[in-house]
Chain A
Amino acid sequence: MTVTVDPALAADARRERRFFLSLSLPALFIVGLAAILPILWIIRQSFLTTGGEYTVGNYAKVLSSGLTWSALVTTLELSLGTLAICILLGTPLALALASARPRVANVLMAFVMLPLWTAILVRTYGWLVLLRRDGLINAALTGSGLTAEPLPLVYNFTGTLIGMVHYMLPLFLLPVYAAMRDIDPNLIRAAASMGATLGQVMRTVIMPLSAGGIFSGSVIVLIYSIGFFITPAVLGGGKVNPLSTRIERTLSTFQDWGSASVLGILLLVLMALIGVMLLAARRLLAQNTVDAPHA
């Protein structure tokens, strides 16, 4: 079926498109300047010796070092751990928020967003006060006799994970909450009226319809988590060393800009790989839910 369009209208539409495009030019310019140029510079830097000659030595050095791979493993453990906890804690929370009355939901949402308005450094040091040996949590645990010895809650992997989840949870929650709030309550009522149990409603109605939100939340969590620096540096006690702290060490102790650039590119590649995998996963998911009736 073809629709004939008035040429004058079409020209109008084209003009409009051009106008909107031109409005976005300053933003595009800034993105180009602030994101693409530095990346190109880092790529160039990764092929330079300290003397400024071209080399692939930096890549050989970084990729053959066991430290790089252990940092990579730590990075993945931290990001996937953060994501898993965010999904486990965030999804039920989003569900509760979405099903609460709007006034209550708004108040709860404000509490969820509160940490986002606090600087990350302040929050990280705040966790130190709570988690350290004579901190509030350990004082409560030992004081009440629940544990004989203070628990090792900070200056290790556990502490780092707690700090990262605290930062990421609100950012995960937002898209999931938005997706769940948009679910038509009539669908849930319909499912229930046809005899679906709560579990079935979750599985067949709520989860498929909020999958897009969970997916977006997961992408945000992973992209942020891969580059986390302050949290592992402060709460990890020197024992948790992802790629970001490896880059810092390479720069500040060795003044080796070339190798640090290689590590930075490794982070970029990791992000791209995760992006591709998530996109593939979403396509698969979409096929399963959309194509199912046709099959």
Chain B
Amino acid sequence: MSWLRISLAAFAISAALPVHAQTVTITTAGGDYGNAMKEAMWGPAAKELGYDVREETLSDGLAALKMQVTSGAVTTDVIHLGSPEGAQAAAQSLLEPLDYKIIDPKSVPEGAKSDYCYPFDSYGTVMSWNTKTYGENPPKTWAEFWDVAKFSGRRALRANAQDSIEIALLSDGVAPADVYSVLSTPEGLERAIKRLEAIKPNVAVWWTSGAQSAQLLKDGEADLVVTWNGRAQTVKADGGAADYTFKGSVIGTDCLGVPKGAPNKEAAMKLIAAMTQPARVAKLTDFIAYGPVNPAAYEGGLIPEDRLKTLATAPENAGTSVFSNSEWWVKNGEAAQQAFDEMMAR
């Protein structure tokens, strides 16, 4: 008769729970970043919606997503991905289309828009320099970064086409808004590669990891370094003779998606909409220097003035920066990288 007792107990327990409590599972990267998202974003949103949100943490979101969807055992409703992975996942039909009737479509600037993975925070690929070399007069634009006559000095760039070809076009006078339409033509890609080839003799190091780029900046091994804002900020904060600017940065984003066949699809969309409200993504910067994508988060003093300087997406930088276009990279990445590698081998 034990099965009866168990099922009675189960019945009693389920009856004790409020029947309307919606359960939603969110998968994040965990660590400091995951905690920041919980404190600032989904924690308060869950309270507001009355949802019971469960968190799973995984370091390789795309692999986990692929496993869940292809095996037909989807347990997560909302997943946190880097935007390039989000675009890859969308291309492999692993994500549900976002419901822009629930999520406010105006909360994403045009250049960052995605149909499948909602971009909510950002980091920048920026120009940094050695303050001992340039003092008060560092290069201010990518055109000046390329001007080796006016700004002599050793350059360091990332040994990867990603962000480099966008920067190359910006240095050649292409407007930020036109970068991807120019890159989408064969001549445009060639133009970017030619531009990189022109600076190649002055590139002392092509770096392969973020830590390496920070080291080059800190040691003065290179005078002008293309790096990520977090890395440049760390060198600067540690007392290194370095500074950086967000002007002309290439902005990368992280995004939230709903796995194909998620058990609570609609609740997931609602949670995404609620957790990315301006006040909540602004609050995220209390914990980590990843700036909101939503322009409204920068209004009404939600983010303290002095912190704005450390965020890639601050309004004063808008207009000079380019949002890295994940969908373009999924489609053209291999050809671009191939052209880049051939340039390097010449």
Segment with Cβ contacts to A, from B136-144, B316-324, B337-345: B337-345
Chain B's nearest CB lies how many Å from the CB of A43?
24
Contacting residue for A238 out of B208, B333, B342, CB 8 A: B208
Q: Once the chains bind, are A237 and B205 in contact (CB under 8 Å)?
A: yes
What is the 8 Å Cβ interface bit string for chain B, positions 188-214, against chain A (1 contact, 0 not)? Answer: 000000000000000011111000100
Given A241-B345, A249-B341, A254-B337: A132 touches B221 (CB 8 Å cut-off):
yes
Partner of B344, one of A132, A233, A241: A241
B219 on the A face (CB < 8 A): yes
A window 15-68: CB within 8 A of B:
66-67
**Cβ–Cβ < 8 Å partners of A12 in chain B:** none
Q: How far is the CA of A241 from the CA of B338 in the complex (A)?
A: 14
| CA gap between A254 and B333 in the complex, in Å | 8
A111 → chain B, closest Cβ, in Å?
29
**B residues in contact with A238, CB < 8 Å:** 159, 205-208, 344
Closest chain A CB from B214 CB (angstroms): 14
A258 to chain B, nearest CB (A): 13
A237 adjacent to B206 (CB under 8 Å): yes
Q: Which residues of A contact B341 (CB under 8 A)?
A: 67, 241, 249
Residue A133 is within 8 A (CB to CB) of chain B in the complex: yes
B310, CB-defined interface residue at 8 Å:
no
Q: Is the C-beta of A144 less than 8 angstroms from some C-beta in chain B?
A: no
Task: Type the 1/0 row for A232-267, where 1 means its CB is closer than 8 Å to any CB of B.
Answer: 011001110100000001000110100000000000
Q: Are A132 and B219 in contact (CB under 8 A)?
A: yes
User: Is B160 on the interface with A (CB-CB < 8 A)?
Assistant: yes
Residues of B within 8 A of A234 (CB): 212
Contact of A67 among B205, B219, B221, B345 (CB under 8 A): B345
A interface size (C-beta, 8 A)? 19
A134 near B219 with CB under 8 A, answer yes
Residues of chain B contacted by A241 (CB below 8 angstroms)? 341, 344-345
| Cα A249 to Cα B341 with chains together (Å) | 10
A155 to chain B, nearest CB (A): 5
Contact flags (1/0) for A205-242 with B, using CB distance below 8 Å?
A: 00000000000000000000000000001100111010
Nearest opposing residue in chain A for B215, CB measure: A128
| Residue among A67, A234, A239, A241 facing the most chain B CB atoms (10 A cut-off) | A239
Which residues of chain B come closer than 8 Å to A66, judged between CB atoms? 342, 345
Are B345 and A155 within 8 A (Cβ)? no
Say whether A70 faces chain B, with CB atoms less than 8 Å apart. yes
Inter-subunit contact A233/B342 (CB<8 Å):
no
Contact across chains for B204 and A253 when beta carbons are under 8 A apart: no
What is the distance, in angstroms, from B219's C-beta to the closest C-beta of chain A? 6
Whether B334 sits at the interface, judged by CB under 8 Å, is yes
Q: How far is the CB of A216 from chain B (nearest CB, A)?
A: 34
**How far apart sit A241 and B337, CA to CA, in the bound complex (Å)?**
15
Q: Is the CB of B345 within 8 A of A133?
A: no
Q: Say how far A280's CB is from chain B's closest CB, in angstroms.
A: 32
Q: From residue B92, how far is it (CB to closest CB) to chain A in Å?
A: 11
- Using CB atoms, name the residue of chain A closest to B212: A234
B220 close to A (CB within 8 Å): yes
Given A155-B204, A238-B159, A133 contacting B334 (CB threshold 8 A): no
Complex formed: what's the CA distance from A256 to B334 in Å? 10
**Is there contact, CB below 8 Å, between B220 and A133?**
yes
Residues from chain B with Cβ under 8 Å of A237 in the complex: 204-207
Complex CA–CA separation, A238 to B208 (angstroms): 7
Least CB distance from A100 to B in Å reads 40
Report yes or no: A70 in contact with B334, Cβ–Cβ below 8 A.
Answer: no
Contact A70 B205 (CB under 8 A): no
Query: Within the complex, what minimum Cβ distance (angstroms) separates B120 from chain A?
Result: 25
- Inter-chain CA distance A234–B160, complex, in Å, is 15
A196 to B207, CA, bound (A): 56
Cα of A133 to Cα of B221 in the assembled complex, Å: 6
List chain B residues, Cβ under 8 A from A132.
219, 221
Select from chain A the residue with minimum beta-carbon distance to B200.
A239
Q: State in angstroms the CA–CA spacing of A258 and B60 once bound together.
A: 22
Other contacts beyond A67-B338, A132-B219: 4, CB < 8 A: A71-B345, A134-B221, A238-B159, A241-B345
6 A-B pairs closest in CB distance: A238-B206, A238-B159, A237-B205, A70-B345, A155-B205, A132-B221
User: 23 A–B contact pairs at CB < 8 A?
Assistant: A66-B342, A67-B338, A67-B342, A67-B345, A70-B345, A132-B221, A133-B220, A133-B221, A152-B204, A155-B204, A155-B205, A233-B208, A237-B204, A237-B206, A238-B159, A238-B206, A238-B207, A238-B344, A239-B344, A241-B345, A253-B160, A253-B337, A256-B334
